[in-house]
Chains A and B, each alone.
Chain A
Amino acid sequence: MDIFSLYRRLLAPFVVFSEVRREPARSFAFTLATERKLLVVPRLEAVDSLALRIFELVNADPSLPSIDPPEAYALAFAKHSGLPLLTDNASPKLAAMTLEELRGTMVLDSLDVLKALYPRETLLRVLAEFTEDTGVRFSERRLRELGLA
């Protein structure tokens, strides 16, 4: 199973794609682009203004996980295009839930994606493997939200 059984293709704003600098991640991204599973989207002026406001909202509160300009742009692009944003940072989700201009924007994390990909009976094993491979852990509260703890 992979993410392309959920989404035909992924879109990466150029500013996000340009953060992928090292091998083998870069080669993998280019392979996906060649197969048209990954589209690199050029910068859109219409998105810039909202991206700046998101950046200011999140970074004005030092108690929140920071959001950098590429991620703020990606969230604004998600709103602009009506597509979900995939990220494990909590701040974009918080912004989408509190900023009026982002109402209706869907922000999904790794757990949302894995839950959509795998049946419940195999999901806990998959989560354990995912954590082993990536060092990404899910809080008890986050697991409870999806009925997994």
Chain B
Amino acid sequence: MAASLLQVDRLTVRFGSSTVVNDVSFSIAAGEKFALVGESGSGKSITALSVLRLVDAATTTGAIRFEGEDLVVKTDRQMQALRGSRIGMIFQEPMTALNPLFKIGNQIAEVLTLHDGLSKPAARARAIELLARTGIPEPDKRVDVYPHQLSGGQRQRAMIAMALACKPRLLICDEPTTALDVTVQAQILALLDELQSEMGMALLFITHDLNLVRRFTHRVGVMERGKLVEIGETAAVFGAPQHAYTRQLLASRPERVVQAVPADAPVLVQGDAVGVSFAFSQGWFGKRQFQAVKSATLQLRRGETLGIVGESGSGKTTLGMALLALQELSSGSVTLSGERIDNADRKHLRAMRKRMQVVFQDPFASLSPRMTIGQIVGEGLALHRADLNKAARDQLVLDMLDEVGLSDRHGVAGVLQRYPHEFSGGQRQRIAIARAVVLRPEVLVLDEPTSALDVSVQQQVLRLLADLQKRYGMSYVFISHDLAVVRAMSHRVMVMKNGDVVEAGESEALFAAPQQAYTRELLAAAHLG
């Protein structure tokens, strides 16, 4: 511990009366890869930001020493000189962390002229060098593009180039790969690893991704609600977790919860050569077609879960919406129990919607903020079960909410009159599930239902979905980029890439022996191969 690069001692951060970081102490040695893991709201990001004194309106106590210097007593100006030169930082969302109005090269050069006092041409040459080093193709051309002209992975590379510009001794990475597709994630991590050993800097990772921590870091600190509950060598913590919360986190990796489907289960949804294309106007009169889904053929039997995996832009969500007739087809057909739904007339289709429901990814956007939970969950019943009176419908809604874990006996009083903003992300997702399942649909499309949730909550929601499927014999279309989750939930899996179905098959067989190179690449990136 003598040669520690960064030493944080009894750090406490308060916003007003709420303590966000509570008595946290850790140290990072030079050249070490350290991770702070925790779920959202655990205070891990605030801890890292406090090191750089980037937290506004907070009262901070405790000692922070960096290379033997006390950071707490430094003036704001001294801290400013430190940031970006000796301590670099990269953020989760490269699109918002880069200024959209300035060229990439200029943003990197700015750091160099500011901290190292390089001349403009020298800074530009160095910027090109850095872009080349971070693996951006044609760096001498890319130096003059704007952030929106780069792909997500390239933007993150540019961010890294910027953070490395002044050869920092410590690089703080705040969820550096969360916004990226899995294959890109693997590339970025490999790059960071390479640069770290080359430049001998220390890395401080802030992440919720346990896989990343396990594979990548030397030591790890686990945070829960502002407290550092466990710290140690990564292998030791993962091998023999001491704290109950760590054990809970580790145990919350998705486990397979699939019920066998009887062999004679009837086909419920049949998609034949489903194609979806979007038209973009180009120039004044021109039209360009974008084929989001090219020709997908699929079958879904009663009680079965079909997983659709793919990276962003693969067309998996569009296909899901097409199966629900929420998206017009450009070719092919979709049938529900043999009845065409893609060209059904509007009135008939509205009546059929009772049989097919959907749960979306973002639990904050999928509930209207101005309706009570009772209205949200009861709305479909009011429409499709006009035979019931208000009291009967309310009873159904209450029973449903009880089933998803939101009722008096779960400590949620008066749920019908409450508004969505009073609930956590996981609870909101349960409400969204209740809204769909209360209609007793035959098909439920789940569009990334757990991607916005913390891992421990994720597992609870998956278990709930499995229970509901068992009880009501629903068929699921489970759309996700998370292979571990899809593997846990699906009977059969379809892998999509750029609108094409790359591979499809029984879930276990596909994960055990992927036939296509792309599937193998995906699995390797997710460490599931």
Query: Are A and B interaction partners?
Result: no
